[in-house]
A = this chain, B = another copy of it.
């Protein structure tokens, strides 16, 4: 027999307490009818034996496992890890558990992660990066797996999208540069090409074009500090050196700032104004004091968990729009924009 009994079960407790298994079950089911006496007998036996209800077996009958999968790549990134912190906290507060699926390795795409989530009968999956194939999302639907898509496109049935005002924020960034007296505009982004990155890029570019302003535009590598460094180099060697750079991400912005200061001995914001996006912790560090847009992580977490708790929302898709407020610090010439 593979794996003899390894943990204590309700049966053991029932035996020790001298009651039926059902009595044990009832004792641990909120709002069931048990007499005070048996209840305490059961509790005592459970305590002595170290019994914990098996949620897996419970989920088998009740069809509610309480498991929610968090799926994404670059889990150690400041913004991503912050989101994970918030989500786990709120999920737990609502009586659920998070399973975390890392899709960094090339052999583990979002699709296989979703299949894994189904195998563990997760009630929902929160997709933090990458995009599920259309076909796989049908699979999810058929298995009762609800989808929360954070900052990605293309909702399917039984899913929510949570989106930010990326394009508008980009326009605000442009406007801030202009009011600060900057004229040689630049845009720095990665090549990731995710929906939110694209929206920020296009929002900035479109607004500049509308005003007839040229923008020096570079896209490079993954969304990382190193890319920002390289981006800074490329942008700042130009003869016509930019005096303002909108970075689609704070990580990129930190890299650009460091390139400006340490490779070109430029001063920020006097020689160069910088605006980022995300408001990662480092953006507020004294070394950066980066003006940026704050990802409303708490609101995102709340929205996701609220939607999960809303049984009626299970079919049909929804889009929730949240806004990323500007966080003024010191990387833009001329103060707080007022």
Contacts and interface: CB of A to CB of B under 8 A. Distances in A.
Given A7-B144, A120-B97, A288-B287, A85 B56 contact: no
Contacts of A49: 142
Interface string A106-131: 00100000011011110000000000
Contact of A115 (B7, B52, B70, B119): B52
Contact of A76 (B81, B105, B257, B261): B81
A38 interface: no
A194 interface: no
Nearest to A282: B282
Contact of A88 (B57, B67, B101, B118): B101
A60 interface: yes
B285 A56 contact: no
A62 interface: yes
A101 B53 CA distance: 18
A94 interface: no
Given A99-B100, A262-B286, A56 B65 contact: yes
Interface residues of A, number: 70
Interface string A49-73: 1101111110110111101001000
A85 B92 contact: no
Contacts of A262: 286-287
A27 to B, nearest CB: 15
Contacts of A15: none
A229 interface: yes
Given A81-B75, A88-B75, A285 B254 contact: yes
A250 interface: no
Contact of A121 (B56, B78, B225): B56
A64 B144 contact: no
A265 interface: no
B105 A89 contact: yes
Interface string A139-177: 100111000000000000000000000000000000000
Contact of A100 (B100, B229, B281, B286): B100
A102 interface: yes
A259 B98 CA distance: 38
B89 A84 contact: no
A125 to B, nearest CB: 13
Interface string A275-317: 0000001100111100000000000000000000000000000
Nearest to A66: B120
Nearest to A93: B105
A6 interface: yes
Interface string A35-56: 0000000000000011011111
Given A5-B63, A54-B121, A88-B101, 12 more contacts: A6-B143, A6-B144, A7-B121, A49-B142, A50-B142, A52-B119, A52-B143, A56-B57, A56-B120, A76-B281, A225-B285, A257-B287
Interface of A: 2-8, 49-50, 52-57, 59-60, 62-65, 67, 70, 75-78, 80-82, 84-85, 88-89, 92-93, 97-102, 104-105, 108, 115-116, 118-121, 138-139, 142-144, 225, 229, 254, 257-259, 261-262, 281-282, 285-288
